[in-house]
Structure 1
C-alpha cells in the first residue's frame, strides 16, 4: 500500500493536527502492508520533524506563494504515484491540490475535516469560506471517497451540511509513552493548567471570569497557568483583563511550552481546564489525561468519556457552569484528584493510544481500496 498524506503545516506552533498526524504516520509505516508513505507539507520555521528514522516515510517540504498555493507541491503530486491520498484539514490550497491530483489520476482520496465544519468554525471568516466552498471546497468534499471525523458530534455536523459520503469516526491518537503518568505528591500550592492555542475560540475569558467569581477561601491555595502561543494583540488583551480584575497574583500567562518543558508543566498540574467553544477533538485533553491529570472541558468537545470513566467533567459552555465545577473541584481532596487522574490514564490507554487509532486507519484504508469489509466505525 502506497499512501500520500498532505497537510499544510507540521510546525510545532500549529497544535494538535501536526502532532497527531506525525504520530500516525510513524505508526502506519511500521505495518507490513504499507510499502511507503509520502508526507507532503509546506515549509515552516519549526517543524516537529525534519526527517523520520523509518525509511518508508518520505517527508518533503515545499515553498508556497499566494494563499499557500505551491507550484513545487503540484509538481510532486503529479510525479509521485500512490494507491490512496489522505488530506488533513480544509480551507487550504495544498489539500485542494492533493484532491485535484487524486481525481486526475482516478485514485481514491480521504479528507480529515479537523473540526473545520463545526458551526462555530463556519461563523469565522464567513465570506472567505463561502467563496472557498464555491470555488473548490464543496467539490473536493463531495467527491472524496470518505470523510474523517474525530467524534460523533463532528459526524453530525458534516451530515447536517448535506454530505452523503461515508464518514469514518476515528479519534486522534497519542503516543502515551511520550506522556507518562505523573508522580503524585501532596502539596499545599496547587495548579490549574490551560494549555492550547491562545485564541478567542478557546474560552480563556470564561476561565478568567469564572475564577474571579470564586470565593477567596476556595482559591487560596490554587493558581492558574495559561500556556500556549497566539496573536500577541489578543494575549495583551487577556493580560489587561487579568490586571483589571486584580488577578495578577493568581493567573499567569506563561507562553508556549514544547518538549520537556511541556511535559514538566503537565506533571506539575493538578487540574486541566479547557473551556473551549468548539473542538473537534482536543488533543491536549488526551495528553493531560495520559499524564494522569483530571480534566474539565465543555460539550463543545467530544469528551463525554470523561464522565463515563470518572476522569473529569464535561460541562456546558459558559461562566456559570465552569464556576460551579471549579468550586467543586478546588475543594476535592488530593487523593480524589489523584484517583480521577489515574482513571484518565486508563481512558487514554483503552481508547486513544496511537496504536489503537493506527489499526483503525489501516482498516479504513483497506476498505477504501476494496480489500476489506466496511469497518463498524464507518457510517
Structure 2
C-alpha cells in the first residue's frame, strides 16, 4: 500500500462512533483502516453516546475523541466540539453523515483553518430521507447544512445516483464518487448452506420489514418453505421502532427468529451460515451489510434502492422488490434454487467483494483524494499542518 498519507492526520467526524451509527459507523471503521494502510493517522471524533466507550476498540489502535451533547439528542449540539476539532491539529477533516450539529462544527473548523473539508452524506440526501421530517430538515438546511455544503472542499457520493441527489439538494455537481469498501473475503463456500435467510440492519421503517414478515408468513402458511427454513432478523433501533416490530413479530410463524443486536464474531457467524442475506429497503446509501454478506459468500435478495446494480449484473444478487408479493416470490425462488446455481451466486458475490469493492482498491483511491486535497490547500497557503 502507498504511503501517500505519511505523517498526515485525517479527522473522521461523525455523529456516532458506536453501533448506534449503524452502517455509517461500520463505514467509518473501514475508513480509519484505509487511512492507516496509506500511512496516515485517522483521528476519530464523535458525539458521545451510550455505546461510544464500549465500541471504541473497533478503531484500535486509534482512540476516539468524544464530545458531550447538550440539549436535544436529535440535534447533537456539543459546545466543545469545534475546539476539539481545532485542538486535534488535523490536515483534513472528513464528515460522515449530515443533519446534525457536526455539520456546523465541521464548517466552522474549515473556515478557521482553511484546510480541506469533505462531506459524505451516506445516502442521507436520498428523496425518501429528505421527505421525512421536512420541517426539521428545513431548519437544518437554513441553520447550518447549506453553509456546510458550500464550505466543503468536496462532497463525496457512494454512487452516481447519490451524486445526482447531492447536485439536486446542495447545488454541487462536482461530487467525488467512491463506493464503500468491503471486508476481506472468508473462505469460498464449497458446499451448499442450509435454507437460512438473514436480515441484519437497523430496525427502521425504511428497511421495510413488515412486507418481509408477511411474505415469509405466506410461504409458511402455504407449506412452501423447505424443511428447516429459518428467517433470522438481527437488528437494533429506536425503542419505538423495535416495539412496533416486535408487536408484528408476535403474529409471525415460529420459523422467524429475532436475535436483537448482532456484532463482531456473532455477526460473522450469522453471515457465514446464511444462504441469502435479504434487505428489502425503501432507501439506502450503499449498505455495508451487503458488502459484508458478499465477502462471506452469501448472495443477496435486495431492492434497487440498495444502489448496488453491480450485484444484479454479476449474478450475486436478485431483486426482491418492496412489496409482500415480490418479496414472497423472490424468497420462494431463492429457497428452491438448485445447489449448483446457488454456488455460482456465492462465487460471484465473493468475486465482487474481492475485486470491485476490495479495501486495497478503494483505499488507494481515498489516499489519492486526500493527498490531492491537502496538497491543493497547502499550495494556496492555507492548508496543511505545520507540526
Tell me the TM-score normalized by structure 1: 0.89
Task: Give the CA RMSD over aligned residues.
Answer: 2.2
2:35/2:367 contact within 8 Å kept: yes
Q: How does 1:33-52 map to 2 (within 5 A)?
A: 34=40, 36-47=41-52, 48-50=55-57
**1:142 equivalent in structure 2:** 150
What is the TM-score of this pair, normalised by structure 2?
0.87
Q: Does the residue aligned with 1:128 lie in a helix, a strand or coil?
A: helix
CA deviations over 1:225-245 (Å, ceiling 9, x no partner): 11111234433333333443x
- Contact 2:189-2:346 at 8 Å conserved across structures: no
Per the alignment, residue 6 of structure 1 pairs with 13
Counterpart of 1:236 in structure 2 is: 243
Question: Is the partner of 1:134 in helix, strand or coil?
Answer: helix
Q: How far apart in 1 are the matches of 2:330 and 2:58?
A: 44
Q: Which residue of 1 aligns with 2:64?
A: 59
Q: Distance in 2 between matches of 1:322 and 1:148?
A: 32
Superposed, 1:98-247 pairs within 5 Å as 98-161=106-169, 163-176=171-184, 180-181=186-187, 183-186=189-192, 190-214=195-219, 216-221=222-227, 222-244=229-251, 247=252
**Is the contact made by 2:181 and 2:358 (CA closer than 8 Å) also made in structure 1?**
yes
Deviation at 1:338, TM superposition (A): 2.2
Deviations along 1:262-305, one digit per CA (max 9) or x if unpaired, are 11111121111100000011110001111001101001111111
Shift in Å, 1:199: 0.7
Once the two structures are TM-superposed, the CA of residue 167 in structure 1 deviates from its matched residue by 0.4
* 1:310-353 Cα deviation digits (max 9, x unpaired): 11113443233222222221211223212211210110111112
Q: CA deviation at 1:182?
A: 6.2
Between the aligned partners of 1:318 and 1:366, the Cα distance in structure 2 is 45
Greater alpha carbon shift after TM alignment, 362-371 vs 267-276: 362-371
- Aligned-partner Cα distance in 2 for 1:12–1:128: 24
**Distance in 2 separating the partners of 1:310 and 1:271:** 13
Q: Distance in 2 between matches of 1:53 and 1:238?
A: 34
Contact 1:311-1:344 at 8 Å conserved across structures: yes
1:339 corresponding residue in structure 2: 344
SS of residue paired to 1:196: strand
Q: Check conservation: 1:300, 1:317, Cα contact below 8 A.
A: no
Aligned counterpart for 1:270 among listed residues 265, 268, 275: 275
Q: In the superposition, relative to structure 1, how do residues 264 and 135 fare at CA in structure 2: closer, same or farther (>3 Å)? A: same
**SS in structure 2 of the partner of residue 176 of structure 1:** coil
Please list the CA deviations of residues 8-48 of structure 1 after superposition, one character each: whole Å capped at 9, or x if unmatched. Answer: 1111232111122122212212324x3x3322112233333
Q: Which has the higher contact order (CA 8 A, sep 6+)?
A: 2
Partner of 2:381: none
CA shift in 2, pair 1:87/1:335, >3 Å: same
Aligned to 1:77: 85
Size of the aligned set, in residue pairs, is 363
Note the residue ranges of structure 1 that are not aligned, 5 or more in a row: 373-379
Deviates more, 1:261-270 or 1:334-343: 334-343
- Deviating beyond 4 angstroms after TM superposition, the runs of 4 or more aligned structure 1 residues are 50-54, 182-187
